[in-house]
């Protein structure tokens, strides 16, 4: 089940909200847990047992780590190995076999293991909980139902954001519900739905069309790069907004996951604004424990490469993701060592253009299905593969998608937020906002009914 489906929007969610607000407070967590397990079961029925085992592992070892301090490190290592073992097996086993066969000239059979949806996200949540218990930042959760709810709560279960236990521990036991909070949640959810259905899906069509073209051009390659750059942003930030909005409807306050990353003026700033729950997770649980930047220069460089290689691998079992991670490692090192002082002196328009071009290149690598395809796109941006600067097909699709390009570029900046919060519209906001939400919901629903199934991109990760 996905958020941008008629089944979820008009059956699952309304029924759940009615039941949730009808039952007494002491039953609300149970209702949410049952609903979340059902939500996951509909999409991944054969992996529901894996989810239950993962929760039991986290619950049992969390208590053991908390109770037996002398052996807490051993218990932490065992529990992390179990969680990581599940992730490695289900996500990477065939990738490992392929590379063993390639390098050792073996002929091991692939296992063709299906990837459980959301395993990268909920595994990181469980691992962060166990580390936080080990660090004594939080006590272990004694109520297994509350811990299970933290892991499987459906808004963030499938594609994040990665929610820290420390963020929601108090709300698992006691949270506030109000009309204001609920309405904020509805607004956030519908905006996320609009991002996904009205922008990401539509602009993603151009990327699909481009991959089958027989009339490429330099401008067409740039259009493709911009299209996938915007599609990935609006798809993933749209899901995050929907998850945050759903959380608010049920009384939970999740941290923002995106902060207008395309207005960044450096790659360093970009990663402070993009997928913030993931970048902060790697910072707190990998980079800082390795020593961060408070070590020798050689070890600091090692730490950067380790973190970004893992970041790339986390996204998928393919070499293009590894290259994507190492690409950012190299860019960040170049910035920190050589370019930082120059970027700070540049006019923001130029430093922002520099950042966006490098990010666009990264997403061409990220989205590539083969080395040949990636190199073709990158050389196409520079006109190195003998293609014309522009073609008739390029002109046709540029005219067709110009408006969605403009909307996506404006939507990726704080401009609309600034206009809405301006003194001229502030007084009318209470009237205009509900109208805006209803219109976006109706138009999005029309697109969903008229369109085909289009899952969130990050379901793959």
Q: Which distant-in-sequence residues (6+ apart) come within 8 Å of 222 by Cβ?
A: 381
Cα radius of gyration (the chain): 23
Tokens coding 220: 């067409």
Q: How many CB atoms lie within 10 A of CB 108?
A: 11
Q: Which of 177, 221, 275, 315 is catalytic?
A: 315
Indicate the angle between helix axes 165-173 and 119-134, nearest 10 degrees: 90
Half-sphere exposure in the Cβ direction for 36 (13 Å, CA):
28
Nearest CA-CA partner of 316 in 366, 281, 377: 366
CA dist 244 and 77 (Å) reads: 32
Annotate 277-340 with DSSP letters as a single string: HHHHHHIIIIITTTTTTSS-HHHHHHHHHHHHHHHHHHH-SSHHHHHHHHHHHHHHHHIIIIIH
Record the tokens describing residue 286, joined without a space: 């990998």
Alpha helices in 174-266 (DSSP H): 179-194, 201-211, 218-249
| Alpha-carbon distances, residue 160 vs 120, 123, 223, 349 (angstroms) | 9, 11, 29, 32
- Token pair 């065992």 is at which residue? 78
DSSP state of 139: P
Please say if 315 is a catalytic residue: yes
Sign of CA dihedral 129, 133, 137, 138: positive
- The CA-atom distances, in angstroms, between 249 and each of 15, 149, 310, 450, 456 are 13, 16, 34, 28, 21
Between the alpha carbon of residue 53 and those of residues 1, 60, 126, the distances in Å are 22, 10, 12
d(CA 87, CA 89): 6
Give the SS3 label for residue 92. Answer: helix
Known catalytic residues? 315
């Amino acid at each position: 089940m996905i958020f941008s489906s008629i089944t979820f929007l008009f059956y699952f969610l309304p029924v759940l909200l009615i039941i949730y607000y009808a039952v007494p407070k002491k039953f609300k967590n149970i209702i949410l847990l049952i609903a979340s397990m059902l939500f996951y079961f509909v999409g991944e029925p054969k992996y529901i047992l894996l989810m239950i085992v993962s929760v039991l592992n986290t619950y049992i070892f969390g208590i053991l780590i908390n109770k037996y301090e002398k052996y807490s490190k051993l218990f932490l290592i065992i529990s992390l190995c179990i969680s990581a073992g599940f992730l490695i097996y289900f996500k990477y086993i065939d990738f490992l076999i392929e590379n063993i066969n390639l390098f050792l000239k073996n002929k091991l059979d692939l296992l063709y293991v299906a990837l459980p949806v959301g395993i990268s996200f909920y595994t990181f949540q469980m691992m962060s909980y166990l580390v936080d218990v080990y660090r004594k930042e939080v006590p272990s959760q004694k109520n297994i139902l509350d811990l299970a709810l933290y892991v499987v709560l459906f808004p963030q279960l499938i594609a994040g954001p990665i929610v820290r236990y420390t963020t929601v521990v108090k709300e698992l036991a006691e949270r506030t519900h109000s009309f204001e909070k609920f309405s904020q949640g509805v607004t956030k959810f519908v905006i996320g739905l609009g991002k996904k259905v009205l922008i990401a899906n539509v602009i993603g069509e151009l990327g699909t069309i481009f991959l089958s073209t027989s009339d490429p051009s330099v401008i067409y390659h740039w259009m493709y790069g911009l299209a996938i750059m915007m599609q990935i942003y609006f798809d993933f930030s749209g899901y995050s907004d929907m998850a945050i909005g759903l959380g608010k409807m049920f009384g939970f306050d999740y941290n923002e996951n995106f902060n207008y990353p395309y207005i960044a003026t450096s790659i360093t700033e970009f990663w402070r604004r993009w997928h913030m729950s993931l970048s902060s997770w790697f910072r707190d649980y990998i980079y800082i424990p390795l020593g961060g930047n408070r070590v020798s220069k050689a070890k600091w460089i090692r730490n950067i490469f380790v973190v970004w290689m893992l970041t790339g691998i986390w996204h998928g079992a393919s070499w293009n993701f590894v290259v994507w991670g190492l690409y950012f490692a190299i860019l960040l090192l170049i910035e920190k060592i050589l370019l930082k002082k120059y970027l700070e002196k540049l006019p923001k328009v130029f430093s922002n253009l520099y950042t966006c071009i490098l990010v666009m290149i990264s997403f061409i690598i990220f989205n590539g299905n083969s080395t040949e395809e990636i190199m073709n796109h990158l050389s196409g941006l520079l006109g190195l593969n003998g293609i014309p600067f522009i073609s008739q097909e390029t002109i046709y699709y540029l005219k067709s998608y110009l408006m969605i390009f403009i909307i996506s570029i404006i939507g990726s900046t704080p401009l609309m937020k600034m206009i809405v919060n301006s003194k001229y519209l502030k007084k009318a906001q209470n009237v205009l906002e509900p109208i805006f939400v209803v219109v976006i919901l109706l138009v999005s629903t029309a697109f969903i009914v008229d369109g085909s199934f289009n899952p969130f991109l990050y379901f793959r990760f």
